[in-house]
Amino acid sequence: MSLFDKILAARGLTAESKAAFLAPDYSLVYDPFLLPDMDKAVNRLVTARQLQEKITIYGDYDIDGLTASTLLLDAFGSFGFSEVSVVVPSRFIEGFGLTLDAVKKIAADGTKLIVTVDCGSLSEKEIIYANKLGIDVIVTDHHNAAVNQPPAVAVVNPKRLDNKYPFINLAGVGVAFKLVQALQTKLDGLPEGHEKWLLDLVALGTVCDVVDLIDENRTTVFWGLKVLAKAKRPGLKALMAVAGVDPRIVNTRSLGFMLGPRMNAAGRLETAQHALDLLLTGDPMSALEKAQYLDDLNKSRQFDQKKILKEAIAEADKYTDDPVLVVSGADWNHGVVGIVASKLLERYKKPAFVLQEMGDESKGSARSYGDFSAADAISASEDIIIKGGGHKLAAGITLPTKNISVFRERVNEFYKSQNLTNQRSLLLPQADALAELREVTEELVDLINQLEPFGCGNSQPILRSDNLTVANVREMGTDARHVKLELCDDSGCKMQFIAFNAPDYFFVKTGINLSVWYQPDINEWQGRHSVEGRLLHLEITD
């Protein structure tokens, strides 16, 4: 059995299932009317189209919400809706989801129908208020749903308890896309097959929202990457140019690490409207200006993040005995604290809540891993917070500043009550296969790339190689935080392994023996190609 076949076997792919996995069939996506309330949502929108009522799409300030908003605006235009606008809330003013003030403003402009994307499932009082003002609401969302649905015309959410849709892990933009597919059966303007041109937005939102890239998500992202490769939207074309992404070889890593951070920087530092404007513009020159501005914002975000992380580490060191870290600071931009929480998780191997103290109120984000649900921990503290929610691994929270200490105690008590074991081991990379260095070739890397798109549920394959000797160690970067190891096996076969912002234990001495966990890739330098391993973990075996 070849090394690639071993990788496939580790992922449960057989000779029969291999072809379908490598080339997902778009025609096999699920019937959108299996989603709860989809028929009600479509009927209301058909009426709105007949009457040409004013519609407001209410999104979220992250990429999932922005791409979903753009997708619906684009599709509604094709269907012939004449009065449609988009409202994107501010992270710093409205926060996540519908607000009473936002509903009041929307009502004042004559809106008769609000369609939410990536939010709204728990907005009962806001929807009641909208109804009182004569506005109907259609919710499209993928966050945790209430047991009893708010009084909207429709709540289209695969997380509902009465859901019959075969796949519940759609992103918000994925749910919006299903709404478009359903509308195609009732309205003219977007012929069957033409909706595929919206898949670039579905791919971007799905990948950046870090949902599982399996089942229907894999299919839409697979084909969405092909749409992105054609780079028809001036905004995305400009953003790829500024970020140094070649459209011909765009992949999930390009979206998650190059395009995503630049778009998210707008909402983290100023307003997500900048990113929405980029997606909507049809002018190439304007698109380039907007993309450059997002790039500048991202550089500012990186500076702020570095400063906050340094201070957060100093705070976290005070609570080393806590299984869950809860840290806060007055000058920490809560648009950046989610990233800082991720960095603390990486450093301390613990779930982390990072909060900005804003006078009497504090707001922040959580990141978790393994079996500990950040959203459930927040729910267990609902009597001492103002609001909060999200997913198992990422959540947001607002609470009185005076309650931070008691919240810290409550969260850690909740963690201990879960009786979780061996959680840290879940952070260690799990190898798909044991590999000899001679087997790790450019041909293998090409075969592995056929498994794209990579992401949650379909991570890039990891190899493990044993009995390797350190032949050379090279420290790199201005602060010497990057490292490149040259390792060789008993036969004399050598390979380079690299790690950026490497942990201290990666800086080993020459002559020692190692086992390494890594992801193989192609390094291109001055026209020469070589296989290189992206180092994930190592163990000294001397």
Instruction: Give every residue of the chain whose pLDDT is below 50, as ranges.
Output: none
* Count of all residues that appear for the chain in the document: 542
Separation between Cα atoms, residue 19 and residue 471, nearest integer Å: 41
Q: pLDDT value at position 392?
A: 87
Q: pLDDT value at position 95?
A: 78
- The tokens for 102 are 């936002």
Backbone phi and psi for residue 381, each to the nearest 5 degrees, phi listed first:
-115, 20
Order the strands of the 394-400 sheet from edge to edge. 325-329, 352-358, 361-367, 394-400, 387-390
- The tokens for 484 are 């490149």
DSSP E strands, 379-512 = 387-390, 394-400, 433-434, 463-476, 482-488, 494-499
Radius of gyration of the chain (CA): 24
| Domains of the chain: residue spans and CATH | 29-197 (3.90.1640.30), 320-426 (3.10.310.30), 433-540 (2.40.50.460)
Is the bond leading into 429 cis (omega within 30 degrees of zero)?
Answer: no
Residue 21 burial (CB count, 10 A): 18
The structure's pTM equals: 0.90
Q: pLDDT value at position 173?
A: 98
Separation between Cα atoms, residue 179 and residue 120, nearest integer Å: 15
Q: Give per-residue pLDDT as tens, 388-415.
A: 887 788 899 999 999 999 999 999 999 9
Q: pLDDT value at position 478?
A: 80
Q: pLDDT value at position 293?
A: 98
Separation between Cα atoms, residue 174 and residue 59, nearest integer Å: 13
Is the bond leading into 191 cis (omega within 30 degrees of zero)?
Answer: no
Q: Give per-residue pLDDT as tens, 103-119.
A: 999 999 999 999 999 99
Helix residue ranges, H only, 284-424: 284-316, 337-348, 374-379, 404-417
- The tokens for 159 are 């997380």
Number of H helices, E strands in the chain: 18, 16
Q: pLDDT value at position 529?
A: 84
Query: Residue 275: what residue type?
Result: A
Q: pLDDT value at position 508?
A: 95
455 DSSP assignment: B
